[in-house]
Structure formats: C-alpha cells, structure tokens
C-alpha cells in the first residue's frame, strides 16, 4: 500500500487549519488575511505544541505561485492605464510616502544606536507596503469598488516599481560601490524595456489573439490560456531581473484591456483564492516565537 506524499499531508494540514481558523475570524468579523497568518503560525515548525508542516520547501513553492496569481488578479482589476488617467497625484503621493518613511526609519535607527547602513535599510523596509495583503484585505471587506481604492492601489503599484530601483541602490551602498553607476542605470533601462514590452504586447498581440480565437475558446481553455500567459510573463520577468509577481501583474494589466477581462477575472478567482491562502499561511509560518 503506497504512502501519501509529504506534500499532500502538508496541504491537508494547512487547508484544514486555515479553514477552521478563518471560520472563527469570519464569525468575529476580522480580516481573513489575519486568519490565514494565524493558521500559518499554528502549523509552523516553530510551534512545538501542535502538528506542523514537514517540508517547507514545497510549501514555499506553492506560496510563490500564490503571490504570482494574486498580483495577476490585481493586474486584471487595475491596469497602468488607470494610473495614467489619475495624473501626477499618485506619483507625488508615492514619493512623499517613501521620503517620509525613509526619514522616519533613519531617525528611529539612530535612536536605537544602529550604524548608518542599518538605518538606511530600516528606512527602505518601512517605505514599502505589501500590495498583496492590502489587495486581499480590500477584496474581503468589499472595498475594491470604493472611490479611494483606485488611488491607493496606484500608489502601491508605483511603490513596487520604485522598490526595484531602491533594492539596486541599497545593494550598491551595502557593497561599497557607487549607487549612481551603471548598475542603477541598467535597472532603470530594464524597467523601461519591460514597460515598453507591456505596451506593445498589450496593445497589439494579446487582444488580437483573443479576438481571432474567441469562437474557439470556452471557459476551460480561456482559463488555461490566461494562466499560461501569466506564467510566461513571470518567466520573462525573472529573466530580466525582476520578480515573477511583477511579471504576473504586467500580464494581468495586459489582459485587463481585452474584451475577455471580466470573464478571465471570474475564472481565475478560485485559483487565486486557493494559492493565495497557501501564500498567506506561509507568511504566518515565518513567525518565530523565540525572536
């Protein structure tokens, strides 16, 4: 009699605990994201009093897929065209937030007596927000259609783009090299290339393909094609030095401009919810009570 693979055991434990905890949080009218994180804390190997996940490597892979599909769904719901229509306001807001939080982090670091580099890195961490958590919270609370949700998501997306440049600059500072050198210029050029690629593909290739094959595509094939394009752009994104989640968001924003956008969003929702739950549980598994 064959044994059940470790991955199946871990998934069973994660989904059962996550389901039970989120039911409790739903009853208490608390965000489901918090319930998922608490479930991850319960099944974490750091918890000696409860059953815990055995193979965290496989779970991390599933979690990476989860954040990729979450950002893909965000792109389907919110494209770069919406940012452009909002004008300069999201840009000014993003720069103000990053400057203020960087300054706050440096001041707090100095207050703790940290060295200059640690203070700068603290400021960089405080300047970034979690797009996935805020997007999930807005969805669970039914706030995505509110007027303020658009500007908030615009700021978060711009923060993600600027985070790429910031990581290059901080890495250069930490290594003692000049952050104004070729590495930073190369990163900016990569971002520019990627956005141009998004524009060209988004305007011509993908919408044309969907129009030509509309009579041949049913719900099943549309789901497969959409997720395939998502994974393809994630691979391209990692090849040019970005995260797979950023590439998934770009492909989502491309499909958001097509005639099938609404249908794709509905088809992807169950897949996003499943893998997204695993991702948020994996975040809770990172919590170490000893620390």
**What range defines the domain where residue 71 resides?**
6-285
- Exposure of 281 by Cβ count < 10 A (0-12 exposed, 13-18 middle, 19+ buried)? buried
The angle, 0 to 180 degrees and rounded to 10, between the axes of the packed helices 56-77 and 244-255 is: 30
Total domains, the chain: 1
- Within-domain flag for 38: yes
pLDDT number for residue 164: 64
- Within-domain flag for 1: no
pLDDT number for residue 179: 52
Q: What is the CATH number of the domain that holds 255?
A: 1.20.1530.20
- Within-domain flag for 232: yes
pLDDT number for residue 172: 61
What are the 10-residue block averages of pLDDT along the chain, 291 residues in total? 70 87 87 85 77 74 83 77 73 86 88 85 80 76 76 79 68 58 63 71 77 83 90 84 79 83 86 85 78 67
- pTM of the complete model beyond 0.85: no
pLDDT number for residue 1: 45
């Amino acid at each position: 009699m064959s044994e059940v693979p470790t991955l199946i055991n871990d998934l069973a434990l994660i989904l059962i605990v996550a389901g039970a905890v989120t039911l409790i949080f739903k009853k208490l009218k608390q965000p489901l994201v918090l319930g998922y994180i608490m479930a991850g804390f319960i099944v974490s190997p750091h918890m000696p009093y409860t059953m815990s996940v055995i193979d965290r490597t496989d779970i991390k892979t599933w979690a990476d897929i989860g954040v990729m599909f979450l950002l893909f769904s965000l792109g389907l719901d919110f494209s770069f065209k919406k940012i452009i229509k909002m004008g300069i306001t999201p840009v000014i807001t993003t720069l103000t937030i990053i400057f203020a939080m960087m300054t706050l982090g440096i001041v707090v670091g100095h207050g703790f007596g940290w060295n200059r580099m640690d203070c700068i890195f603290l400021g960089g961490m405080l300047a970034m927000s979690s797009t996935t958590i805020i997007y999930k919270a807005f969805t669970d609370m039914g706030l995505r259609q509110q007027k303020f949700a658009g500007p908030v998501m615009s700021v978060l997306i711009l923060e993600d783009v600027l985070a790429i440049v910031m990581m290059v600059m901080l890495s250069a500072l930490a290594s003692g090299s000049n952050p104004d050198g070729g590495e930073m210029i190369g990163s900016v050029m990569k971002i520019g290339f990627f956005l141009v690629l998004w524009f060209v593909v988004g305007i011509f290739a993908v919408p044309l393909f969907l129009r030509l094959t509309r009579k041949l595509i049913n719900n099943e094939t549309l789901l497969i094609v959409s997720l395939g394009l998502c994974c393809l752009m994630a691979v391209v994104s990692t090849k040019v030095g970005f995260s797979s989640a950023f590439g998934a968001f770009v492909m989502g924003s491309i499909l958001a401009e097509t005639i099938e956008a609404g249908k794709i969003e509905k088809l992807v929702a169950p897949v996003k919810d499943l893998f997204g739950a695993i991702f948020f549980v994996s975040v809770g598994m990172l919590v170490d009570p000893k620390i």
